[in-house]
Chains A and B, each alone.
Chain A
Amino acid sequence: MTLLSSVTGRLTAAALLVTLAAPASAQETPQSGGVANVAIQPEPPGLMLPLVQNAPTQRVAGNIFEGLLRYDTDLEPMPQLADSWEISDDGLTYTFHLHPGVKWHDGEAFTAADVVFSADVFLRETNPRTRAILDHVESIEAPDDETVVFTLKQPFPAFIQAFEVGTMPMVPKHIYEGTDFYNNPANNHPIGTGPFEFAKWDRGSVIELDKNPDYYEDGKPYLDKIYWHVIPDAASRAAAYENGTLDIMPAGSVENFDIPRLSGMDGSCMTEQGNEFFNPFAMLWLNNREGPTADKRFRQAVMYAIDRDFAKNVLWNGLGKVPNGPFSSTLAAHDDDLEQYPYDPDKAEELLDEMGYDGKPVRLLPLPYGETWTRWGEAVRQNLEDVGINVETESSDVAGWNQKISDWDYDIAFTYLFQYGDPSLGIARTYISSNIAKGSPWNNVEGYENPKADELFAKAAVENDPEKRQAMYDEVQQILHDDVPLAWIMELAQPTIYRCNVHDLITTGIGLNDGFKNAWIEQQ
């Protein structure tokens, strides 16, 4: 509990206990030793997390690299490389006190200079999302080896959410300074401060991580080794879990229809925790520029026509949540009182009649991410046809899907987006008109323009008073809810299936991506 005592954030012991108690464990004291065999799907393109942000990279490299903070399942900050931190009352100065005596995997000392280098030099160059956040930052300084001060240009309350390992991983200055970041030989053997060190990578087969024997938190990590197994075929992965080759199946490595079977096996546990920070939000882009989808009544009709509970129960095995509006329910700014769009085909038909929909076919572009998404496209098409909308389904591969959405060449298209813990980080980007630009499938591709919404998002992001900020976010949620710039279809669940003798696997809102620092295996 030495960790807890040093926390100055708003972390409560109760929250931690709830998190830790997730799997009912017979034994409370962690045991050292043991090896974790984990599925990784698909194989990551690289493990140098500060350069590569793909989901599988984050999942593996979260063990090697660390950020200054972690976040619990309520998205409250927790200490990691920073033991404690202070935010000035005007919201402009963020001071972090680093954990003393931290070493890089190669034995060099980790200091405040590394933090300044990582944020101010390395990530500004390599990570566009971090760069956008750092645009709010005036200066980053290291008054001594264990203190870092971020000074902001204006208050930006979401800034405290930006220190997670995927957003701001720490990079060793002594290895990267003055080199070509993308071609540094160390990229093949990443050096971090994390609880596990990179050992070996047999491409197409297995990634091996070893325990960091000099880790700065006493006794941690508990595991000796982590093996990440690359098994591209879903049925083979399921079989590998059944026969005991694999112990942990992260979200996305098990087909939805297999979840009940695998999680129902003897000694098999499942949790939906560890999803709170990203909370992938499935949506339908509706092209606001042209065709029937340009009419607000048509877009509302789509919301009424789609049977989202059916998709949740049948396609996602009851996991996930039907959203009531543009903000996901795990965000603090989420408005619970927003009126839900029910499944109401009659209402949808009424709206279509009112606008005088002439039967002009609309194109539907499903997400080419596998079985479930294809089936989902079929279900949505049927829902729309049931209320009299003519639908033509288009097929494409991932590259074609990216291309069509980036070029705005679609009528209705599936997608899902991460929330990143705060509306100004994960949500505003989808609705503000300054974010309309061809060439990216992740910005305001629906072409929604509403000066009022723009203003509210802009003001809320830099409003330091939580109540005023919430009032603005409530207002913008109501506006978006009524305008339906796009259809909100599901907050996706990210179930992790694992053997019940693995304890404390997921202890934060970032889930497996936060590393296996606390995980331990109960010996038989």
Chain B
Amino acid sequence: MSFFRRFAQNRGALVGLIILALVVLLAVLAPFLYPDSPWRMVQRPFLAPGEMAGFPLGTDTMGRDVAAGLAHGAWVSLLIGLISTVVALAIGVPLGALAGYFGGKIDDALMRFTEFFQTIPNFALAIVLVAILQPSTTSIVAAIAIVSWPPVARLVRGEFLSLKHREYVEAARLVGQTHRDIILKQILPNTLSPVIVLASLMVATAILLESSLSFLGLGDPDTMSWGYMIGAARTVMRQAWWLSVIPGVAILLTVLALNLVGEGLDDALNPQLARQR
């Protein structure tokens, strides 16, 4: 059975993929749909959705187009989610691989280092990092990456521990391959499936983290993001509920879609573990 057939067997995953595709499309098309800055004050404030043609989602407290904010925010959220995940993988995978492959003191040292990060609550650490580094897109990506790499390291280490005594690894060692080749060419490719599944979930978590930071006012002040939109609208909840609800639903759908896709990937990549449907 092909990879996609297995993936598509999970209906939820298919729905997730469609939603995700739409969000990506929205993000990519944002500069064409709304070429103006989403910060531009274009109409009178507090227009309800549908109240005026041309503003399908209404305007916010300052008369900025909510639809424009949503589109540009999609780009920001996805980009921050993706980049911070890539950075987290770039830290977590090598550390986990080295710890798992060499074991012994290297393993001890690297895992104690990892645990050091794991003992601090994720969100608290992210807040502290962003506050110290001053809020900007770079500092937010860095903070999210720093709090989310430890699970990657532990997962990769576990995989390496179980794979390094397999016969094909022993064989590679017997023919004299270097450690580097064994790690990169023999073991790593075989650990990819769980890492890919984890990464898809990490993107979802990163989007949530970015939104939470922006909600607390620790977002990049020059970047329109969904979390910022909710944070700015929180205090006017009673006058204009839609200002918080619209970006909230956007976050919910995107994160849900990523989780569904992650589950589908899990099924597709580990057919022997797939649940019976």
Residues of chain A at the chain B interface (Cβ within 8 Å)? 234-235, 255, 257, 261, 310, 314-315, 366, 371, 374-375, 377-379, 381-382, 385-386, 391-395
Tally A-B pairs: CB < 8 A.
Answer: 50
Q: Which residues of A contact B40 (CB under 8 A)?
A: 382, 386
Indicate which residue in A257, A374, A395 contacts B236 across the interface (CB closer than 8 Å): A257
Nearest-CB distance from A401 to chain B (Å)? 13
Q: What are the 3 A-B residue pairs with the smallest beta carbon separation, nearest first?
A: A393-B221, A382-B39, A395-B135
Q: Which residues of A contact B239 (CB under 8 A)?
A: 257, 261
Nearest-CB distance from A183 to chain B (Å)? 35
Contact of B12 with A by CB under 8 A: no
Residue in B closest to A378 when the chains form the complex, CB atoms = B39
Residue in B closest to A307 when the chains form the complex, CB atoms = B41
Asked if B62 and A315 make an inter-chain contact with CB atoms under 8 angstroms apart, the answer reads yes
Asked if B235 and A234 make an inter-chain contact with CB atoms under 8 angstroms apart, the answer reads yes
Q: Which residues of B contact A385 (CB under 8 A)?
A: 37, 39
Nearest-CB distance from A369 to chain B (Å)? 13
Asked if A371 and B235 make an inter-chain contact with CB atoms under 8 angstroms apart, the answer reads yes
Given known pairs A257-B235, A371-B235, the reply for A314 and B45 (CB within 8 Å) is yes
Given known pairs A310-B41, A393-B222, the reply for A378 and B235 (CB within 8 Å) is no
Task: Fill in one digit per residue for B224-235: 1 if any A CB lies within 8 Å of its CB, else 0.
Answer: 000000001001
Nearest-CB distance from A305 to chain B (Å)? 14
Residue in B closest to A238 when the chains form the complex, CB atoms = B238
A381 to B221, CA, bound (A): 10
Asked if A392 and B222 make an inter-chain contact with CB atoms under 8 angstroms apart, the answer reads yes
Given known pairs A379-B62, A393-B221, A395-B134, the reply for A255 and B39 (CB within 8 Å) is no
Task: Fill in one digit per residue for B218-261: 1 if any A CB lies within 8 Å of its CB, else 0.
Answer: 10011000000000100110110000000000000000000000
Contact of B191 with A by CB under 8 A: no
Q: Which residues of B contact A234 (CB under 8 A)?
A: 235
Asked if A374 and B62 make an inter-chain contact with CB atoms under 8 angstroms apart, the answer reads no
Nearest-CB distance from B104 to chain A (Å)? 46
Asked if B222 and A255 make an inter-chain contact with CB atoms under 8 angstroms apart, the answer reads no
Task: Fill in one digit per residue for B59-75: 1 if any A CB lies within 8 Å of its CB, else 0.
Answer: 00111000000000000
Task: Fill in one digit per residue for B177-196: 1 if any A CB lies within 8 Å of its CB, else 0.
Answer: 00000000000000000000
Determine chain A's interface SS by DSSP, over half rule: helix
Nearest-CB distance from A205 to chain B (Å)? 23
Contact of B271 with A by CB under 8 A: no
| A-B pairs with beta carbons under 8 Å apart, 10 shown | A257-B61, A257-B239, A261-B239, A314-B45, A366-B221, A378-B62, A381-B222, A392-B222, A394-B221, A395-B218
A261 to B235, CA, bound (A): 14
A261 to B239, CA, bound (A): 9
A392 to B62, CA, bound (A): 20
A382 to B224, CA, bound (A): 12
Residue in A381, A386, A394, A395 with the greatest tally of chain B CB atoms within 10 Å: A395
Residue in B closest to A255 when the chains form the complex, CB atoms = B235
Q: Which residues of B contact A235 (CB under 8 A)?
A: 235, 238
Residue in B62, B63, B238 with the greatest tally of chain A CB atoms within 10 Å: B62
Contact of B217 with A by CB under 8 A: yes
Residue in A closest to B228 when the chains form the complex, CB atoms = A378
Residues of chain B at the chain A interface (Cβ within 8 Å)? 37, 39-41, 45, 61-63, 134-135, 217-218, 221-222, 232, 235-236, 238-239
Residue in B closest to A371 when the chains form the complex, CB atoms = B235
Indicate which residue in A314, A375, A395 contacts B232 across the interface (CB closer than 8 Å): A375
A380 to B275, CA, bound (A): 56
A374 to B61, CA, bound (A): 12
Asked if B235 and A375 make an inter-chain contact with CB atoms under 8 angstroms apart, the answer reads no
Asked if A375 and B61 make an inter-chain contact with CB atoms under 8 angstroms apart, the answer reads yes
Q: Which residues of B contact A379 (CB under 8 A)?
A: 41, 62
Asked if B61 and A395 make an inter-chain contact with CB atoms under 8 angstroms apart, the answer reads no
Nearest-CB distance from B234 to chain A (Å)? 9
Q: Which residues of A contact B63 (CB under 8 A)?
A: 314
Asked if B222 and A374 make an inter-chain contact with CB atoms under 8 angstroms apart, the answer reads no
Residue in A257, A385, A394 with the greatest tally of chain B CB atoms within 10 Å: A257
Nearest-CB distance from A180 to chain B (Å)? 38
A395 to B62, CA, bound (A): 20
Given A261-B239, A393-B222, A395-B217, 13 additional A-B pairs, CB 8 A: A234-B235, A235-B235, A314-B45, A314-B62, A315-B62, A374-B217, A374-B232, A375-B61, A379-B62, A381-B39, A381-B222, A382-B37, A395-B135
A378 to B236, CA, bound (A): 17
Q: Which residues of B contact A371 (CB under 8 A)?
A: 232, 235
Nearest-CB distance from B144 to chain A (Å)? 17
A310 to B64, CA, bound (A): 13
Nearest-CB distance from A376 to chain B (Å)? 9
Q: Which residues of A contact B236 (CB under 8 A)?
A: 257
Given known pairs A261-B239, A382-B41, the reply for A375 and B134 (CB within 8 Å) is no
Nearest-CB distance from B35 to chain A (Å)? 14
A235 to B40, CA, bound (A): 28
A377 to B222, CA, bound (A): 10
Asked if B62 and A375 make an inter-chain contact with CB atoms under 8 angstroms apart, the answer reads yes
A378 to B37, CA, bound (A): 12
Q: Which residues of B contact A391 (CB under 8 A)?
A: 222
Nearest-CB distance from B132 to chain A (Å)? 11
Asked if A394 and B217 make an inter-chain contact with CB atoms under 8 angstroms apart, the answer reads no
Q: Which residues of A contact B134 (CB under 8 A)?
A: 394-395
Q: Which residues of A contact B222 (CB under 8 A)?
A: 381, 391-393
Q: Which residues of A contact B61 (CB under 8 A)?
A: 257, 314, 375
Nearest-CB distance from A375 to chain B (Å)? 6
Nearest-CB distance from B273 to chain A (Å)? 46
Q: Which residues of B contact A375 (CB under 8 A)?
A: 61-62, 232
Q: Which residues of B contact A314 (CB under 8 A)?
A: 41, 45, 61-63
